[in-house]
Chains A and B, each alone.
Chain A
Amino acid sequence: MAKSKLRKTFMEPLGKNNPVFVQILGICSTLAVTNKLENTMVMVLGVTFTTALSAWTVSLLRKMIPSRIRMMVETMIIAAYVILVDIILKAYYPEMWKQLGPYVGLIITNCIVMGRVEAFALTNKPLPSLVDGLASGLGYAYVLLIIAAVRELFGSGSLWGFQILGSWWTNWAIMIMPPGGFFMLAIFIWVVRETVMKEVDHA
């Protein structure tokens, strides 16, 4: 029983309750970082790590947190984890840290992190909260990676920095710029809702 509930907690953010294409959360970073697959990977790992651990920490403290200052406490915990990610990247992956620049710090303002903490972790036990945070991060991750793959392929003719398309290919500059992110996200949401989500609704 408990196991199946945990499984449901894990599966929901990946599919019918996906943070990006169902809840439309955290799309600011969807637009900003998805023009390169490599940057996107580090960003989604950062978000997944932060979401999972902040949810777990808040859930541990949930009975002690005075409700009137809960948002301050949540933000403080989230910010601490994000700064840890930043410090670790700076020390051990300096090239990546240099490329991502301000984006890592922006994880603090990613609505998915705060959203899951508020909606789930405050009322659930630590383990389910950790699973929910992890799954929300992963649900965010795969959507961003798909969008990034398409944008990098059309915008730079490459994937993960390796040139895929030959010199005959003219790069679509718009794919790399923020409008390309809007277009891709909209198309992605439309396709998913028209195909996969429709079946889920009927079932």
Chain B
Amino acid sequence: MSEFYKERVYPLIFMFIVTLVCIVLTAGAHILTFDLAEANELSFTRRAILDAAGLPYENTTIGIEEEYLSSISEENGYFTAVVDGKTRYIVPLAGPGLWGTIEIMAGLEEDLTTFSGVAIVSQTETPGLGGRIEEPWFTAQFAGKKGPFTIVEEGTSAAANEVDGITGASRTSEFFKNLTDRASAEARRIIEGV
């Protein structure tokens, strides 16, 4: 009996208690920080929308919220912002990357062709190479330009349809170009229902 208890029952009870304690601790921490994590997530999305709209904001949770609530209006499946009397349209887009899906917010001027900005929502490209699409210089170069784009060597883009590729990440650059090239048609489909 005692052998049975020591070899079979005790390990089972012990493991059960350890598991229970671990679950209570982690679940507790999760619940305690849930609102904060949700708020962060929302703030990231809002910041991406503001970036795509080309609007300036103070980079704090409160700064983002204020600017977002005062300038962005949410429509069915897209967002709009009025800048200097003209409407800008921000549409969410997703497409394949090298490893996973790249999700972006594409901001377009009234003509639905010229970019007002581009912002990454999520991506899983190679850190340090394709992952550099998150760097501000890369996304900033789309503002004021029109697709379809031609990728040129890093640091050499000049014309309105040229964008710098990322050295060492030709494939990611190509995937990103394909995604932005679709923005105009995709925006028309979402906004005008064409």
- Please list the residues of chain A having a beta carbon within 8 angstroms of any beta carbon in chain B: 35-36, 39, 61, 64-66, 68-69, 72-73, 76-77, 79-80, 83-84, 87-88, 90-92, 94, 98-99, 101, 155-156, 171, 173, 176-177
Contacts and interface: CB of A to CB of B under 8 A. Distances in A.
Interface of B: 6-7, 10-11, 14-15, 18-19, 22, 25-26, 29-30, 33, 36-37, 40-41, 43-44, 124, 126-129, 167-168
Nearest to B24: A80
A84 B24 CA distance: 11
B128 A69 contact: no
Contact of A73 (B14, B36, B129): B14
A173 B127 CA distance: 12
Contacts of B36: 91-92
B14 A84 contact: no
B114 to A, nearest CB: 29
Contacts of A90: 33, 37, 40
Given A66-B14, A69-B14, 17 more contacts: A66-B11, A69-B11, A72-B15, A76-B22, A77-B18, A80-B22, A80-B26, A84-B26, A87-B26, A87-B29, A87-B30, A88-B29, A99-B127, A101-B124, A173-B129, A173-B167, A177-B128
Contact of A79 (B14, B22, B30, B33): B22
A184 B162 CA distance: 37
DSSP class of A's interface residues: helix, strand, loop or mixed?
helix
Q: Is the interface of B mostly helix, strand, loop or mixed?
A: helix
Contacts of A173: 129, 167-168
Contact of A77 (B22, B29, B127, B167): B22
A72 B41 CA distance: 34
A87 B36 CA distance: 10
